[in-house]
A and B are shown apart, each in its own frame.
Chain A
Amino acid sequence: MRKTYLAAALIALISTITGIAVGIAGAQDGGDRTVTDDDVNRVARQLYCPICENVPLDVCGTRACIDARNEIRQMLEDGMSDEEIIAVFVERWGERAVATPRDPTLSFLVWALPLTAIVIAVALLVWQLYSWSERRTRPAQQAPAIQPGTDDKYRQRLEREIRERS
């Protein structure tokens, strides 16, 4: 029982990370099998046709998309894996056929910016909070040392230097 839970958790984890694990698992039983609408939709969901932009292929009603889904069905019946089918469509339609680009350069372009932005933001935040609390503590220690009404900058500086040396 515990083993099955573990396996389930593992599968869930992998599928959230890659989002394609199910597809590969589905394709592995191979051979000549009946392909259901759900199988077709599983692949189609990951594709975007150039005619209906931003509409996943599994819910697109145009003739072009119906033809493409029939082709996917044929490919599945021929025993192609989900990944192979997706690759065919990426070659034919270009990188826009998938939800996020697969080409390494484009993929880098797309993912690098948000990730760098997040890293920089976190760094900035930490630095800012640090410098704020730093600035807060310093005047608090100095405040009593400087007598109110001391306008003379030179004297202030002198006092500070004396303090620092001591």
Chain B
Amino acid sequence: MLAEIGIVTETLALLAAVYAVVAALWSVQKRERRWLHSARNAVAVSWLMITAALLALLIELINADFSLLYVYNTTDRASDLALRITALWGGQAGSLLFWSWIMGAFALAAVLSNWDTDRRFMPYVIAVTIGTLAFFLSLTVFFENPFDRFWQDPSGNVIVSALQPPNTWPLAQRDGLGMNPLLRHPGMLIHPPTLYLGYVGLVIPFAFAVAALATGDLSPRWIRATKTWALIAWLFLSLGLLLGMRWAYDVLGWGGYWGWDPVENSALLPWLTGTAFLHSVLIQEKRGMLKKWNMVLIIITYLLVVLGTFSTRSGIVSSVHSFAESPIGGPMLVFLAVSVGIALWLLFRRWDSLRSEAELDSVFSREAFFIINNMLFAGLTIATFWGTYAPIFSELLTGEKITMGPPYFESVNGPLFGVLFLLMGLAPLLAWRRTSTRHLIRALAIPTVLALALVVVIFISGTRHPVALLGFGVVGFAGFSTLAEYWKGAVARHRSRGEPYLLGLLNLFKRNRHRYGGYLIHLGIVIIAFGIIGSSIFQEETQQRLAAGESLVIDGYEMVFEGLDQGMAPDGSKYVVQARVSVYQNGQLVARLNPRRDIFINPHGAQDLTSPSVYSTVGGDFYVILVSWEEIGDEGTTFKVYLNPLVGWIWWGGVILVIGTLIAVWPDRRESRIRSRALATGLAGSSEVA
């Protein structure tokens, strides 16, 4: 019954979405408001229908109804409630439906919140967002239906189909395959949804950009309407990347968090262009420059979002994370070509009207440095894109398969990121239009001296690695320069209003959320960069086989293997083998760790998961894992130990980044007052028309 509800509602959702697109465009053709109203209502109906379908699937998962192929593939009887909910996006079909649901929610919210202020854009915003939604819905209805069921015909053949084929009866499997143990991690519970929120959120600015091109209203209106959307999308994308890194670190057990895998890269690519976009729109707002570039940037971002989704789901790149091969590749590619084609054609038509309103006054101006910043992000995007897809090009051109591993990305992206941090430190010191050399030198002095001092301290403490010293210096410069901005602001408020420094600092955030929230994001990124430099350059590892009572030594740490515990988990879902190890630093016991190996057993066989155990300090992580392919026993167990300096800084930097973004997007009372005033006049205008 639930499956039927699901099939009917997802089909209705698709129909409503298609209708919304047609009605929205028809309203332009006919110049009639009521068609637009009808389109808006259809968007709401479509989203409600997807919600119903999603709920139906969720209940089927929770009930473990193994007459559904999707439920069979992603859960088993042993799974607990959280795992069954996670299964909603644990497979191809479900995640497509879930993607559609988020797309629908974002589209509806964007339409409703900008309904009165940007009415002219609405037909096109609906057409783009709901067009995208309709496409993804059609994939779930026609190609990857989460409500496909098992049927049996008289000769015993099992058929998988959404609708009952003639002369068959339903078949329910006894138990499911269960989710891949690698995906059974809290990070997995929220990583895909946050990433989808980021992806989908970026579609909104794209839709407004297309609307601006289509209507010919090329003022920064489309940017103002979507700046918050872009920032929220960016937040989710950043969060999704960080959670993915954390998941890899905690679960995959190779001591790292980022492997430059194609799937990881395809999430990073829109993040790079999205970050560039967040910076370059500022220039258009402030100076009326870079209009063409912003259009190009948001179109490319959209392209990368859909391309990333395409390449991870069609099996065209080989990756650890990719979904099983699926028939949706062809349709997705066609959709991609059509949507980007339309956007580029619109851009072509308006190209000449997008001329810059101002010109660069000086190379030593904030806008000039933002332009360089954008060039660097473009460079990073191209380099990462090439690294991700070069194996395909190589196979096409030479017939040879190749791997593009970390050495490529590190040596190309590393220096580019380095220069980017230099700019991050410089740009806030520069004024718009032009900055006098004297002012610049004065502003540069403190951060430069502090950064040099930092390098000297690191050098004295024993670090001799030139790349690391350079990296720490540049990143430190960016950090100090940002801190100096806060300090300057607080001092200025103290002098002019007599506010205590701390209050002054708080008021800075109140007065200009975007700016000082943005600086907080910079600080978060700086801290993340410290973590990345530390953990990638100074990682140490050793692998040794120990009997109970023996120990291994690595860089000042001694790890003693005390013994093994093993047995069935209380809930009977898995067999657990757990080692007891003690970690000593300079002869002092600092941690007792339990690296373990879980063996999940279900009727279809056993699946294995090795979980590392970590002792974290500010200075770094002691990360130990059982080597699962070697024999494990009291008389001999192989351990692999990684020392990851500063790796914890990545997660803490991530927290600061999130706080900074939240401050930047938090609704400003003053701004909303202006907005509501504009709204009132806008309404008055529309009532005149009516």
- Check whether chain A touches chain B (CB < 8 angstroms): yes
Find the B residue at minimum CB distance from A16. B467
Q: Is there an interface contact between B386 and A38, defined as CB atoms closer than 8 Å?
A: no
Instruction: Give the complex CA separation of A48 and B401 in angstroms.
Output: 12
B residues in contact with A76, CB < 8 Å = none
Tell me if A145 is interfacial: C-beta within 8 Å of chain B: no
Q: Is there an interface contact between B401 and A96, defined as CB atoms closer than 8 Å?
A: yes
B residues in contact with A129, CB < 8 Å = 360, 363, 368, 371
Tell me if A132 is interfacial: C-beta within 8 Å of chain B: yes
Interface readout for B400-432 with A: 1 if CB under 8 Å, 0 if not? 111111111000100010000000000000000
Q: Is there an interface contact between A110 and B402, defined as CB atoms closer than 8 Å?
A: yes
Find the A residue at minimum CB distance from B463. A12
Tell me if B320 is interfacial: C-beta within 8 Å of chain A: yes
Of the residues A59, A111, A133, contact of B363 by C-beta under 8 Å = A133
**How close is B99's CB to chain A, nearest CB, in angstroms?**
24
Tell me if B33 is interfacial: C-beta within 8 Å of chain A: no
Q: Is there an interface contact between B405 and A110, defined as CB atoms closer than 8 Å?
A: no
Q: Is there an interface contact between A100 and B408, defined as CB atoms closer than 8 Å?
A: yes
Summed over the interface, the residue pairs from A and B with CB atoms below 8 Å come to a total of 136
Q: Is there an interface contact between A110 and B253, defined as CB atoms closer than 8 Å?
A: no
Find the A residue at minimum CB distance from B260. A54
Instruction: Give the complex CA separation of A55 and B264 in angstroms.
Output: 13
**How close is B568's CB to chain A, nearest CB, in angstroms?**
23
Q: A53-B319, A54-B259, A129-B360 are in contact. Are A110 and B390 (CB under 8 A)?
A: yes
Tell me if B558 is interfacial: C-beta within 8 Å of chain A: no
Instruction: Give the complex CA separation of A50 and B401 in angstroms.
Output: 10
Find the A residue at minimum CB distance from B376. A121
Tell me if B172 is interfacial: C-beta within 8 Å of chain A: no
A residues in contact with B400, CB < 8 Å = 94-96, 101, 103, 106
Q: Is there an interface contact between A114 and B398, defined as CB atoms closer than 8 Å?
A: no
Tell me if A9 is interfacial: C-beta within 8 Å of chain B: yes
Tell me if A31 is interfacial: C-beta within 8 Å of chain B: no
Interface residue tally on A, bucketed by range: 35 or more
Interface readout for B365-376 with A: 1 if CB under 8 Å, 0 if not? 000100110010
Tell me if A142 is interfacial: C-beta within 8 Å of chain B: no
Q: Could you tell me which residues of chain A, from 105 to 138, have a CB within 8 Å of some CB in chain B?
A: 105-106, 109-111, 113-114, 117-118, 121, 124-125, 128-129, 132-133, 135-136
B residues in contact with A105, CB < 8 Å = 398
Instruction: Give the complex CA separation of A53 and B259 in angstroms.
Output: 12
A residues in contact with B383, CB < 8 Å = 114, 117-118
Of the residues A9, A13, A99, contact of B408 by C-beta under 8 Å = A99
Find the A residue at minimum CB distance from B400. A95
Find the A residue at minimum CB distance from B384. A114
**How close is A123's CB to chain B, nearest CB, in angstroms?**
11
Tell me if B545 is interfacial: C-beta within 8 Å of chain A: yes
Q: Is there an interface contact between A121 and B543, defined as CB atoms closer than 8 Å?
A: no
Q: Is there an interface contact between A110 and B464, defined as CB atoms closer than 8 Å?
A: no
Q: Is there an interface contact between B382 and A117, defined as CB atoms closer than 8 Å?
A: yes
Tell me if B378 is interfacial: C-beta within 8 Å of chain A: yes
Instruction: Give the complex CA separation of A54 and B401 in angstroms.
Output: 12
B residues in contact with A19, CB < 8 Å = 407
Interface residue tally on B, bucketed by range: 35 or more
Q: Could you tell me which residues of chain A, from 1 to 19, have a CB within 8 Å of some CB in chain B?
A: 5, 8-9, 12-13, 16, 19
Interface readout for A7-39 with B: 1 if CB under 8 Å, 0 if not? 011001100100100000000000000001110
Q: Is there an interface contact between B405 and A56, defined as CB atoms closer than 8 Å?
A: yes
B residues in contact with A50, CB < 8 Å = 401
Instruction: Give the complex CA separation of A88 and B482 in angstroms.
Output: 51
**How close is B377's CB to chain A, nearest CB, in angstroms?**
11
Q: Is there an interface contact between B319 and A54, defined as CB atoms closer than 8 Å?
A: yes
**How close is A48's CB to chain B, nearest CB, in angstroms?**
5
Find the A residue at minimum CB distance from B361. A136
Instruction: Give the complex CA separation of A125 and B544 in angstroms.
Output: 52
**How close is B472's CB to chain A, nearest CB, in angstroms?**
14
Q: Is there an interface contact between B407 and A99, defined as CB atoms closer than 8 Å?
A: yes
**How close is B458's CB to chain A, nearest CB, in angstroms?**
14
Q: A37-B543, A38-B542, A66-B629 are in contact. Are A121 and B379 (CB under 8 A)?
A: yes
Of the residues A36, A109, A118, contact of B397 by C-beta under 8 Å = A109
Tell me if B339 is interfacial: C-beta within 8 Å of chain A: no
Q: Is there an interface contact between A9 and B466, defined as CB atoms closer than 8 Å?
A: yes
Instruction: Give the complex CA separation of A59 and B318 in angstroms.
Output: 17
Tell me if A61 is interfacial: C-beta within 8 Å of chain B: yes
Q: Is there an interface contact between B360 and A136, defined as CB atoms closer than 8 Å?
A: yes
Q: Is there an interface contact between A110 and B404, defined as CB atoms closer than 8 Å?
A: yes
Q: Is there an interface contact between A41 and B541, defined as CB atoms closer than 8 Å?
A: yes
Q: Is there an interface contact between B361 and A113, defined as CB atoms closer than 8 Å?
A: no
Q: Is there an interface contact between A133 and B360, defined as CB atoms closer than 8 Å?
A: yes
Of the residues A54, A109, A110, contact of B318 by C-beta under 8 Å = A54
Q: Is there an interface contact between A61 and B628, defined as CB atoms closer than 8 Å?
A: yes
Interface readout for B256-270 with A: 1 if CB under 8 Å, 0 if not? 000101100000000
A residues in contact with B391, CB < 8 Å = 96
Tell me if B638 is interfacial: C-beta within 8 Å of chain A: yes
Tell me if B394 is interfacial: C-beta within 8 Å of chain A: yes
**How close is A3's CB to chain B, nearest CB, in angstroms?**
13
List 12 extra interface pairs beyond A41-B541, A100-B407, CB under 8 A: A16-B465, A53-B319, A54-B262, A54-B320, A59-B252, A59-B254, A101-B402, A109-B397, A114-B387, A129-B371, A132-B359, A133-B363
**13 A-B pairs in the complex with CB atoms less than 8 angstroms apart:** A54-B262, A96-B400, A98-B405, A99-B404, A100-B405, A106-B394, A106-B402, A109-B398, A110-B404, A118-B416, A125-B372, A133-B362, A135-B359
B interface residues with partner A (beta carbon < 8 Å): 252-255, 259, 261-262, 318-320, 359-363, 368, 371-372, 375, 378-379, 382-383, 386-387, 390-391, 393-394, 397-398, 400-408, 412, 416, 464-467, 541-545, 608, 628-629, 638
Q: What are the 3 A-B residue pairs with the smallest beta carbon separation, nearest first?
A: A99-B405, A132-B360, A53-B318
